[in-house]
Structure 1
């Protein structure tokens, strides 16, 4: 049965678990925890709980287990799939990790860092840099997203090409289970082949198996040199061909290879009217090389691009001559995402295909939108180096909100079909959350469903951990 309120006795017990400063149950106080970053979704909660220690989280989960009270773990609330918002009115409490925000330890000898789950990603990056190290996870929300949420959603970003997803950067986790028991999976070991790798059960689980309270990550030497170029290309086919050549000619020194359809530039200008693309071409690309060693990266990148231009793969290129110019290049990539949010509702996807299928994905998606949804504006951009394309679609400016969302659902379904028919995925890095749970579940084989359900039942037998996220409510624990 869905609860609509909590009794004074239960509220008092919850306050006893997290302290007076850790409980908010009034509408105004809860507001910032109940909406997503893009403004697409509003949710509800019976209360917002803000534990101040791992012990508080344990006490809270023991109490919720006794009460049969469902819990939504929440990090920085920067997700895009309603994974941390009760958009279905299921009668849940939100557990925000924002007060667990300390960096516990930086070990420069072993290149590791331990932090509370609520530590903001940018704080971790800055602390690492202060020790002449690099934590390479990089995404647009890094100023507000939290490392526990990054782990729970297996965050991606612009450096996946070189360093991998969040799961590739995590050495260990600390997790409070659904019954309040604490599992400490820290070891600092790079190699540990002792049975099941339990931390990987929680990476990408989106809070459905437990609450991550601590994260141990790999650090890397801070790059001594970074070279950035902004390119103009004739097509996405040319972009993929250029990337393939770059992997061979520049090897693992490539840290990012982003592609942007020229139609996206107007969106960046909604955030900063002064933004100007340094090249004019149908497809644009941002390429970054980095190295901690004494390597002539500038010469390598300049020579590579000269050869590519001679062979007709690159139409125009500008190499950044300063850190400020490189930041200006990246401001285009970051601004186009913020510009879409500023414009209002739009279809947002996070598709993944094999790198060689990127041109086919974009061509089929553009054709589908043009033929079936005239007047809607297609946008294509993303991480070419790992096959992750964000194919988004803007509604006509004069279309009513209700009709736009109804048509948007049809467009989303069509785009998912295109990706799946290419052997791809509907979620490359954003996760499943609540907004994609039905589509996710429908695509699973019976065997896959049985395995997922078995894991969920074993670790969360009462179905209290983020119900409705990842698994549809009707498919959680019997």
Structure 2
């Protein structure tokens, strides 16, 4: 660590922009799942793009590694420094202003530290809709969402964060600022640099501001909980409902009966939406600018599903309280599985047509090799994102837990690749999947990624050791 680094950083961001004491740093040094922790001499909290640029110039001159951090709600350790104490944490949480809401262009310009829920509310206040929605929306930041290309429940209709973004402003590793803050929906004037930084997990530069897309407000909404005979029927139900409801389907979530039972056991104030038990369940939600349209369409689609046998029972929420109760079940899965066991999380992306065959093959694989381990699978079936999680007992010794983790991950991820899938749909790579990436990326793809990293960050200062 350069001897006068702290003093130079204080000159760039002031005393308010530095956290030097251990208690103040604590929340920045451990990730949300509490799998990784690190140390740092200083947490730097710049309040503007100019201050971010000044910090990066200092770090470039002193060869100081930088770990960018948003809301620290990630699942892969990408925002945590190592334990050696030579990396600074650069938090964007002081850059939290909504700069512009343009209802004519249907855009919003925000700083990277704005909480996602605040973006959603600002859109609603302008009678518009920002569709990115995920469990951590009350604490994650738009900059973190951009850095990880976050997904969530509405990808089926609106796409990932990359699809919701028109332009970004980025501070490069040497402190230069790329102003790509354009609200253009068409721009074929060269390489799309924006998409280099979105999803790069802070390894290429620091996103400081963004222009995101807004959509017409969804005044009409209808939500249903559906019992289905199998995961294959759930996938077929999606196809049938799309033919009736079209692009109005916002969310199509699947959950097994085992998953529901775990949630009911561990999450307070939850209860079965249906009287009978079914092998699988679907939570479907449709929305439209017209209040009258969604309930009629959803009733029509569910009637056809029941008649065809794709669904065995269904209930439509008659008010917002019932809708919230359904979503509380779905959103409770992360909390519940942690209480039930030690989940080995597999955030898999698959072609939608391959979801059912994959589950069949994966269930058979786990039954053959790990018969003692229960499977809790759920996911955003509408966009092919399956969370195929295997639960380890809480009381395993460290060696046994590490052995099973390696063996289970290898088999599940090998199978996902065999079905032309991906080992990371929405959580990113970070530290969690970094070494596995070598196994699943081709030599050509790896070389291209390394070439980009070397071109933009030749001194390996940006989030070193993550992704690559």
- For the criterion TM > 0.5, the same-fold answer is yes
SS state of the match for residue 309, structure 1? Answer: helix
SS state of the match for residue 278, structure 1? Answer: coil
Matched, 1:11 2:11: no
Give the aligned partner of residue 397 of structure 2.
Answer: 400
> CA contact under 8 A between 1:377 and 1:396: conserved in structure 2?
no
Instruction: Quickly say closer, same or farther: Cα 1:265–1:453, change in 2 above 3 A.
Output: same
Q: How far is 1:27 from its partner?
A: 2.4
SS state of the match for residue 187, structure 1? Answer: coil
Instruction: Quickly say closer, same or farther: Cα 1:266–1:273, change in 2 above 3 A.
Output: farther
SS state of the match for residue 346, structure 1? Answer: strand
> CA contact under 8 A between 1:380 and 1:391: conserved in structure 2?
yes
Q: Distance in 2 between matches of 1:267 and 1:23?
A: 43
Give the aligned partner of residue 80 of structure 1.
Answer: 75
Of residues 371, 386, 393, the one that matches 1:389 is 386
Matched, 1:38 2:46: no
Instruction: Quickly say closer, same or farther: Cα 1:74–1:411, change in 2 above 3 A.
Output: same
1:100-156: per-residue Cα shift (whole Å, max 9, x none)? 111011111111001100000001001111111100001001000000110110000
1:177-212: per-residue Cα shift (whole Å, max 9, x none)? 001111111221111221111111101011011000
Q: How far is 1:314 from its partner?
A: 0.1
> CA contact under 8 A between 2:78 and 2:429: conserved in structure 1?
yes
Give the aligned partner of residue 427 of structure 1.
Answer: 424
Instruction: Quickly say closer, same or farther: Cα 1:11–1:393, change in 2 above 3 A.
Output: same
SS state of the match for residue 324, structure 1? Answer: helix
1:223-276: per-residue Cα shift (whole Å, max 9, x none)? 110000000001000001111111111111111100001111233235533311
Matched, 1:447 2:444: yes
Matched, 1:248 2:243: yes
SS state of the match for residue 252, structure 1? Answer: helix
Instruction: Quickly say closer, same or farther: Cα 1:237–1:88, change in 2 above 3 A.
Output: farther
Q: How far is 1:394 from its partner?
A: 1.3
> CA contact under 8 A between 1:269 and 1:336: conserved in structure 2?
no
Q: Distance in 2 between matches of 1:391 and 1:49?
A: 37
User: Aligned pairs, how many?
Assistant: 466
> CA contact under 8 A between 2:64 and 2:461: conserved in structure 1?
yes
Q: How far is 1:462 from its partner?
A: 1.0
Q: Distance in 2 between matches of 1:340 and 1:129?
A: 33
Give the aligned partner of residue 326 of structure 1.
Answer: 323
Q: How far is 1:406 from its partner?
A: 3.1
- 1:248-397 aligned at under 5 Å gives the runs 248-269=243-264, 272-279=267-274, 280-293=277-290, 295-343=292-340, 345-397=342-394
Matched, 1:50 2:45: yes
Alpha-carbon RMSD across the aligned residues, in angstroms, is 1.6
Give the aligned partner of residue 474 of structure 1.
Answer: none
Instruction: Quickly say closer, same or farther: Cα 1:152–1:23, change in 2 above 3 A.
Output: same
Instruction: Quickly say closer, same or farther: Cα 1:469–1:196, change in 2 above 3 A.
Output: same
> CA contact under 8 A between 2:342 and 2:393: conserved in structure 1?
no
> CA contact under 8 A between 1:39 and 1:341: conserved in structure 2?
no
Q: Distance in 1 between matches of 2:93 and 2:337?
A: 27
Give the aligned partner of residue 20 of structure 2.
Answer: 25
Give the aligned partner of residue 3 of structure 1.
Answer: none
> CA contact under 8 A between 2:254 and 2:379: conserved in structure 1?
yes
SS state of the match for residue 213, structure 1? Answer: strand
SS state of the match for residue 343, structure 2? Answer: coil
Of residues 167, 178, 181, the one that matches 1:172 is 167
Instruction: Quickly say closer, same or farther: Cα 1:443–1:40, change in 2 above 3 A.
Output: same
Q: Distance in 2 between matches of 1:10 and 1:75?
A: 23
Matched, 1:236 2:257: no
- Which moved further from structure 2: 326-335 or 446-455? 446-455
Q: How far is 1:336 from its partner?
A: 1.1
> CA contact under 8 A between 1:270 and 1:342: conserved in structure 2?
no
Matched, 1:466 2:466: no
Give the aligned partner of residue 106 of structure 1.
Answer: 101
Give the aligned partner of residue 457 of structure 1.
Answer: 454
TM-score (norm 1): 0.94
Give the aligned partner of residue 188 of structure 1.
Answer: 183
Give the aligned partner of residue 476 of structure 1.
Answer: none
Q: How far is 1:89 from its partner?
A: 3.9
